[in-house]
Chains A and B, each alone.
Chain A
Amino acid sequence: MSVAADVGSSAFPNIGTAALPRLDDRQVGAINHIRNLSRLPPNDWSHMMGRAPMQEDYSAYRYQLAYMYYASALAYKHRLPAAPGLFKDTSNRLIEKMLLPEVWLYWRNASQGKGPFTLDLPALGVETNPVIRDNIMYSGYLQTMALMHHLLFDDARYAQPGSLTFEFRPFLSILDQSADYTYDEKSLNERIYWNMVENGYLGVACEPGCVFQICNQIPILGFRLHDVLYGGEIAREVTEGYLAAWSDFGGVIGPDGHYTTLVVTSNRTPIPGSYSGPWSDAWCGMLMNMWNGEAVKANYERLRDAWIVDGPSGTKSVRLPPAPEGAGALPEGSTADLGWMSAWASEMGDRETLDGLLAHADRFMKPRWLDGGYYYPRCDTSRDSFGNLTIMDPTTGNALLNYARLNVPNGLRKLYENPRGALALKEPVITGISNDAALRCAMFLPDSNALVFTPTAGCEEADTSIFRIENIADRGAWSLSIDGQTVATGDERTCQATGPVPVRVENGAISIEAPLSSEPNIVVAWRQQH
């Protein structure tokens, strides 16, 4: 006699699912849009192409990929923690895209220096390897994505030697020699660490000679992830050194009361944040909140109020800086200011500001649904005829507003403090989803010893989807119910379906083919632990 036949549903806890948090339509659409873009073939950058050439502005693919990655990570960690299967493939695909030459080959040009702040310095040699020196505006993002993948999905693939390889294979020119620059999550972390040490912890430069605060928050996250994975206290070492180094320039907040944007190292000149615009304060604040939260919180409202402007019907927008110099003739508002402010408001838990900014975007920035995904298409016109901000860059439209929509208060900070995903906890989780379905809810409730999830239609039109549930070993008998009705019982080897919904146990996992349109509440409950 199977265990399944031996248990009645009364042996399992009665789980109330009505009060559990669920994603709304736009949050589901945000995740779906990121999944959709991650699935585009290599070098198909549809919906991601920005206005500036050469990957030099904030629409660069590296920023879109990284902040879509972080948005997914936050959604997984805080919104759908029992659904690694919804996010893992997206994670790998976004990392693969980061390794495409289209993303990093700008460095062959940018590595030579002589940017707007360093015109007086001699030009440097051409460097192809995008992580060997400087360029933390790329290397830090790849570092964090690889290490975060390891922790979130308990998957060591980027720890393997050569797993992060930059292939340079010019086809038409014999002047360049082909090269593979091979790294992994550990060697890349080590490379960035020593770059940081060499610079006295002030930070690693983006373009030569320019150390931005913003971009150096990213490797700090990377060091923290590395510490959690491999031991050590690099993050503490670096953050302590960072604060000491920036104190030479008046601290992380400059004399003008804004986050200092960067230091030009050749002449030790800080460039004040008030010169830059809302993007500088917001981007820096949203990231620095990870490890310097009290200082960020102390300055948040003052800086927010310096940049936010109220609009009609509770909408909010941003006061724009002058158009950025260089990088082609860019229009006013092409620095993703509304996107960074939204992301910062989400991190600080400032619901009123976040709702106002999202309401502005939804009302004036022409959002669109595409294959189940929700995003804001690029718009190069700064304002409509009523003066409302309409410009939309791809980083804001694809990544930042979706990031803000999916984040929770102090979400990035919580990820910094506790970056491991549910797979490492060995709790029952959804590891496979067919037909690109989506989820409104997916969490394991330890007190109830139950996995609860609510499927919904995702990127494809489909009536049903198969959900695979793993980590069920050694938990004993389970009962699976849909909207309160028991449809199957079983254990880690056997299953007895008692309803019309197909449920199986195969290779130590439960598979259920669930309807999507009715968005049922599905509960897999194990006996309560006593």
Chain B
Amino acid sequence: MKSAVVAEPECVFDLIDFNGAPATPATYAGRHLLVFFGFTHCKVVCPRALSRISIALDLLGPDAEKIQPIYITVDPARDTPAVMKAFLSERYPRFIGLTGGAEAVEQARKAFKVFASIRRDPKDPDDYDVPHSALTYLIGPNGAYLAHFLDVIAAPELAERIHSILNAGA
């Protein structure tokens, strides 16, 4: 028997979006996904990343229409659909926010191989924060993982890399 072992992240989630509607990869079939995990109370990493991704999408021009940016919470206890909607609509309107039960969020996190761990933080009003990975995942229209990008990549380079992947077969 040969064992096929998958190392790459897998685009697997069964969550609800910030309007309360069910959301799985099939919901967005036919579009590329740009996925970032985080939480709305995040003070540094998420605002920086969501801004950078938003700028990159602006730079992409018409290519951006092929892409649905998605923000998946790693803090479902605080990030209700309403909280996520308020957070994203105001500052990062391109994004759809996804949340769900703790188990469903954990399943998505593991499938994408995202690190997140609750840590005590006396400075936080709720006494905790959630350090997490800062990778941005590009998923193909068929749900296949295509690439990931580090948070040190500036918006113009991110746009350039996404553009080259989107147009690789053109």
Q: Within 8 Å of chain B (Cβ to Cβ): is A435? A: no
Q: Within 8 Å of chain B (Cβ to Cβ): is A352? A: no
- Kindly identify which residue among B110, B119, B132, B133 contacts A248, using a CB–CB cutoff of 8 Å: B119
CB–CB B117/A200 < 8 A: yes
Q: Within 8 Å of chain A (Cβ to Cβ): is B113? A: yes
> Closest CB of chain A to B73's CB: distance in Å?
17
List the B side residues contacting A237 at CB < 8 Å: 150, 152
**Provided the pairs A177-B1, A200-B131, A237-B150 are in contact, do residues A191 and B115 lie with their beta carbons within 8 angstroms?**
no
List the B side residues contacting A248 at CB < 8 Å: 119, 131
CB–CB B119/A197 < 8 A: no
> Closest CB of chain B to A354's CB: distance in Å?
39
**A-contacting residues, B1-40, CB 8 Å:** 1-3, 5, 7-9
Q: Within 8 Å of chain B (Cβ to Cβ): is A418? A: no
0/1 interface trace, chain A 124-135, chain B, CB 8 Å (1 if under):
000001001000
Chain B minimum-CB-distance residue to A193: B7
Q: Which of A180-188, A395-403, A468-476, A520-528 forms part of the interface with chain B?
A: A180-188
Complex CA distance for A132 and B7, rounded to whole angstroms: 8
List the B side residues contacting A197 at CB < 8 Å: 113-115, 133, 135
List the B side residues contacting A132 at CB < 8 Å: 5
> Closest CB of chain B to A467's CB: distance in Å?
43
CB–CB B133/A194 < 8 A: no
- Kindly identify which residue among B5, B114, B133, B150 contacts A181, using a CB–CB cutoff of 8 Å: B5
Complex CA distance for A240 and B2, rounded to whole angstroms: 36
Q: Within 8 Å of chain B (Cβ to Cβ): is A199? A: yes
CB–CB A191/B2 < 8 A: no
CB–CB A199/B3 < 8 A: no
CB–CB A179/B113 < 8 A: no
Number of A-B contacts (CB under 8 A): 50
Dominant secondary structure of chain A at its interface with chain B: mixed
List the A side residues contacting B135 at CB < 8 Å: 197
CB–CB B2/A178 < 8 A: no
> Closest CB of chain B to A201's CB: distance in Å?
8
> Closest CB of chain B to A268's CB: distance in Å?
8
Complex CA distance for A180 and B152, rounded to whole angstroms: 38
Q: Within 8 Å of chain B (Cβ to Cβ): is A198? A: yes
Complex CA distance for A180 and B8, rounded to whole angstroms: 20
List the B side residues contacting A182 at CB < 8 Å: 2-3
> Closest CB of chain A to B154's CB: distance in Å?
14
Q: Within 8 Å of chain B (Cβ to Cβ): is A310? A: no
Complex CA distance for A179 and B2, rounded to whole angstroms: 6
- A contact residues, range: 20 to 34
Interface centre among B1, B114, B116 (most CB of A within 10 A): B1
**A-contacting residues, B31-55, CB 8 Å:** none
Complex CA distance for A177 and B3, rounded to whole angstroms: 11
**Provided the pairs A194-B8, A194-B9, A237-B150 are in contact, do residues A200 and B3 lie with their beta carbons within 8 angstroms?**
no
**Provided the pairs A194-B8, A197-B133 are in contact, do residues A179 and B3 lie with their beta carbons within 8 angstroms?**
yes
> Closest CB of chain A to B16's CB: distance in Å?
24
CB–CB B114/A198 < 8 A: yes
Q: Within 8 Å of chain B (Cβ to Cβ): is A190? A: yes
> Closest CB of chain A to B48's CB: distance in Å?
14
Complex CA distance for A353 and B63, rounded to whole angstroms: 62
Chain B minimum-CB-distance residue to A187: B7
> Closest CB of chain A to B62's CB: distance in Å?
29
CB–CB B115/A199 < 8 A: yes
CB–CB A178/B1 < 8 A: yes
Complex CA distance for A197 and B132, rounded to whole angstroms: 10
Interface centre among B2, B3, B7, B8 (most CB of A within 10 A): B7
Chain A minimum-CB-distance residue to B9: A194
> Closest CB of chain A to B148's CB: distance in Å?
8
Complex CA distance for A197 and B9, rounded to whole angstroms: 10
CB–CB B7/A194 < 8 A: yes
Complex CA distance for A198 and B9, rounded to whole angstroms: 10
- Kindly identify which residue among A177, A180, A194, A201 contacts B113, using a CB–CB cutoff of 8 Å: A194
**Provided the pairs A187-B7, A237-B150 are in contact, do residues A198 and B2 lie with their beta carbons within 8 angstroms?**
no
> Closest CB of chain A to B106's CB: distance in Å?
12
Complex CA distance for A356 and B119, rounded to whole angstroms: 46
Interface centre among B3, B132, B152 (most CB of A within 10 A): B3
**A-contacting residues, B109-141, CB 8 Å:** 110, 113-117, 119, 131-133, 135
**Provided the pairs A180-B2, A191-B7 are in contact, do residues A200 and B113 lie with their beta carbons within 8 angstroms?**
no
Complex CA distance for A187 and B4, rounded to whole angstroms: 11
Q: 7 A-B pairs, CB-CB below 8 angstroms? A: A179-B2, A179-B3, A191-B5, A193-B7, A198-B114, A200-B131, A237-B150
Cβ-closest 9 pairs across A and B: A200-B115, A191-B7, A190-B7, A198-B113, A194-B113, A181-B3, A179-B1, A179-B3, A194-B7
A interface residues with partner B (beta carbon < 8 Å):
129, 132, 177-183, 187, 190-191, 193-194, 197-201, 237, 240, 248, 268
B interface residues with partner A (beta carbon < 8 Å):
1-3, 5, 7-9, 110, 113-117, 119, 131-133, 135, 150, 152
10 further A-B contacts with Cβ under 8 Å, apart from A132-B5, A180-B3, A194-B113, are A129-B5, A187-B7, A191-B7, A194-B7, A194-B8, A198-B114, A200-B115, A201-B115, A237-B152, A248-B119
